[in-house]
Structure 1
Amino acid sequence: MGIPQNSVWKTRLVQCGFPDRSFDIEFWQEQGDEAIFAAAWEMVELAEEISHGRKPTLQRELLQLLNEFEVEYLIIGGFAVMKYGEPRYTKDLDVWVHNSPQNSLRAVEALKKFGAPLDHDGVTAETFAGKQVVYQIGIAPVRIDILTEITGVEFPNAWRKRVASTFFGVPVHFISLDDLVANKHALGRSSDLKDLTQNPKRATPEK
């Protein structure tokens, strides 16, 4: 059998060292964001025994509503690491919202239409105007975490450098690669940093 004829396979030779992740990262970056997220969702399906073919409907619906209400938000966390790397298993979708008064009000309106039990949970626009707030919806692996603050990065600067993409067909905003690296540096996430710093699109950080 072997490698089928007339097929293209990526290969490389590494001598005097151990292969890093750049080979796989380069491949997945060539495939694009949607292919990365689809492969990651297949990992969730296999690990959690979710019926095959079920898409992350709730996540898509919430992102559509955030767009509809013009909420300023950035996707961070595992899906952001994937965007700049390769598919990986993640149990949640992390969404960072700007905690300005106007944006907090828009976020609450979007969540109301989404059906989140805000009154039951005591969540108001003032809630999202605060710092260090995390509102969790659902149970892993299909949980959504909404945050108002992350370590090492300020939202206004990150928003100006946001990166447009799509998430299962929905237009979305991602944190930039350099801001994601800054966040992981501040958190001390060495495993994420090792993959992210191998992305050729990353700008050289200032010393």
Structure 2
Amino acid sequence: MIQLPKDFSEFLKLLNSKQVEYLVIGGWAVGFYGYPRATGDMDIWVSRSEENASKIVETMNEFGFNVPNLSPDLFTKENQVTRLGVPPIRIEILTTISGVSFNECFNNRQTVLMNEVNINIIGLEDLRKNKASAKRYKDLDDFEKLSG
């Protein structure tokens, strides 16, 4: 079983405690589905609703990411990426990914227990759709592995 770094576990616990709508995507999701690979971060995709955005800011503040003027507006806009920390313990919060919609993916999510934390992970078929549409070499490689 994959072991999460302590910072990732703590952040995910906070997201859950605040009832944030999120999905773990990217390399960590690929690893969950049986194809672990090196990754310098954990990618977390979030719903862009105003209520969810406010919960994300609360989570970040409680986690210790106290940035002046951190606003929920940052998490209601398309194509935003917010980075916390540095690789290999970096968390990236994304508001948009290619090929899929958040609400559909959230409804199809897998919830798994890792390090005593329930984690929302993008479903396999949705991850495949995302990887097929992303067009980066590593995403296409992930797609091939996930489709094999």
The question of a shared fold, defined as TM-score above 0.5 by the shorter chain, is answered with yes
Pairwise CA RMSD: 1.2
Give the AA of the match of 2:33.
Y
Aligned to 1:153: 100
1:18 — aligned with what? none
Residues 19-60 of structure 1: CA deviation (Å, up to 9, x unaligned): xxxxxxxxxxxxxxxx1x23xxxxxxxxxxxxxxxx611111
**Which structure would you say has the larger Rg?**
1
Say if 1:118 and 1:124, in contact at 8 Å, map to a contact too.
Answer: no
Query: Shift of the alpha carbon at 1:104?
Result: 0.5
TM-score by length of 1: 0.67
Q: TM-score, normalised by structure 2?
A: 0.93
**SS of alignment partner, residue 97 of structure 2:** coil
Identity across the alignment (%): 37
Alpha-carbon shift at residue 78 of structure 1 (Å): 0.2
Give the Cα–Cα distance (whole angstroms) in 2 for the partners of residues 99 and 148 of structure 1. Answer: 6
Paired amino acid for 2:64 = G
Q: Give 1:165 shift.
A: 0.5
Higher strand share: 2
Letter of the 1:64 counterpart: K
Give structure 1 stretches of 5+ with no counterpart: 1-34, 39-54, 199-207
Aligned residues: 145
The aligned residue for residue 147 of structure 2 is 197
Letter in 1 for 2:44: V
Q: Write out aligned runs for 1:68-83 (5 A).
A: 68-83=17-32
2:87 aligned counterpart, secondary structure: coil
SS at match of 1:139: coil
- Structure 2: 5+ residue runs without aligned partners? none
Which residue number in structure 2 is paired with residue 17 of structure 1? none
Shift of 1:193: 1.0
